[in-house]
């Protein structure tokens, strides 16, 4: 077990970079999938800027936003001037595991995530890929 005030190892930081990349792929896949679902209900979205505004503000996409926020948090921690602690890596690991939990009986976010996994093979593949990376935690 690593002491809470121990600096993160090179392996832990590299793994965190892998988690970031997996979450980024998952986030994009979820946005692409939800965009198609949204367009089936509301009609075609006119352009990338309109989609960006919807993704950032429309309640339809709200359940995906925490993944984007976690990616930003990982970026900020990796780019910070102060060295990252092993405890920081563990905290981010736990957040990533929580945010990628699909449960048809869980929270609204977990239910939406489960629905997306069930509806889209691409989302399922991205989900499994992300879980594999998370499972390799140093």
pLDDT tens by residue, 13-60: 999 999 999 999 999 999 999 999 999 999 999 999 999 999 999 999
Range of the domain at 110: 10-135
pLDDT(138) > 70: yes
Domain assignment of residue 3, yes or no:
no
Supply the pLDDT for residue 4: 60
- At 96-134, the pLDDT tens digits run 999 999 999 999 999 999 999 999 999 999 999 999 999
Domain assignment of residue 2, yes or no:
no
Domain assignment of residue 1, yes or no:
no
Q: Angle of helix 108-119 relative to helix 10-42, nearest 10 degrees?
A: 80
Our count of domains for the chain comes to 1
Supply the pLDDT for residue 72: 98
Supply the pLDDT for residue 34: 96
Domain assignment of residue 70, yes or no:
yes
For residue 85, the cross-strand partners are 7
Which two three-digit tokens encode residue 23? 């979450």
Residue 104: how many other CB atoms lie within 10 Å:
11
Residue 91 CB partners (closer than 8 Å, separation 6+): none
Which residue did the predictor score with more confidence, 5 or 60?
60
**pTM, two decimal places:** 0.93
Domain assignment of residue 64, yes or no:
yes
Task: Indicate the pLDDT class of residue 92, thresholds 50, 70 and 90.
Answer: very high
List the one residue out of 101, 98, 97, 122 whose CA is nearest residue 110. Answer: 101
What are residue 102's phi and psi, to 5 degrees? -100, 135
Domain assignment of residue 5, yes or no:
no
Which two three-digit tokens encode residue 9? 């190892």
Domain assignment of residue 4, yes or no:
no
């Amino acid at each position: 077990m690593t002491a809470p005030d121990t600096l993160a190892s090179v392996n832990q930081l590299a793994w965190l970079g892998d988690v970031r990349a997996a979450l980024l792929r998952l986030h994009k896949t979820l946005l692409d999938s939800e965009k198609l679902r949204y367009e089936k209900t509301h009609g075609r979205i006119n352009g990338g800027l309109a989609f960006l505004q919807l993704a950032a503000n429309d309640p339809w996409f709200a359940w995906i936003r925490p993944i984007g926020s976690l990616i930003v948090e990982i970026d900020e921690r990796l780019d910070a001037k102060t060295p990252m602690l092993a405890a920081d890596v563990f905290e981010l690991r736990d957040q990533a595991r929580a945010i990628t939990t699909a449960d048809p009986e869980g929270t609204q976010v977990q239910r939406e995530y489960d629905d997306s996994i069930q509806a889209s093979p691409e989302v399922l593949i991205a989900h499994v890929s992300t879980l594999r990376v998370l499972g390799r935690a140093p």
